[in-house]
Structure 1
Amino acid sequence: MEEPITRAEYEEYQKRIEDEDHRQNKRIEQLEENTKQINALTVSIEKLAQSVESMVKEQEAQGKRLVSLESKDGEMWRKVVGYVITTIIGIAVGFMFTQIGM
């Protein structure tokens, strides 16, 4: 049969258990704090990703608008050149017809 433990042994054992409980509780608190920080970081990253996605869409829209504006200037220039050439050809043909006598 086993010998019963003494009061001093029991108190020593109890103190070790309490110390271990305290140590584990401290670790749990640290883990909970780390988890909170990770969750906050995750939320921040999600917001950042949404912001970047929004900026990309806006940039694409602005790029399309820029292409449209640039093509309008080029298109107007081509029209002006076309009108000038048509006018010069018309004047030349008109001058030729007046010289021929028509």
Structure 2
Amino acid sequence: MIKNVHQYYVYILSNKPNGTLYVGMTNDIQRRVLEHKQGSIDGFTKKYGLNVLVYFETHHNVNDAISREKQLKKWKRLWKIELIEKENPKWLDLATDWNI
């Protein structure tokens, strides 16, 4: 029997290196990033032009992803920047090659 494997993503968007940051969570990162890039989501990310995916991590349990999102939202800005720069020092758009 094949188990249905779920994936959940905690992600950080920005508008430029060391710019404004947004932490979010989704079960479909490609769809969600496309929504941010198209500006189809009203609110903070649209207002500040946050559409560059600078960090994401995968979780197999929704509760773990929700907990991690809440944890990152409480983090100091410097800690988030250090997390991003550890994995993505040039602040590249990690969704560039996704053809979205």
Shorter chain as denominator, the TM-score bin is under 0.3
TM-score (norm 2): 0.19
Structure with higher RCO (Cα < 8 A, 6+ apart): 2
Which of 1 and 2 has greater Rg?
1
TM-score (norm 1): 0.19
Task: Select the structure that is richer in strand.
Answer: 2
Task: Select the structure that is richer in helix.
Answer: 1
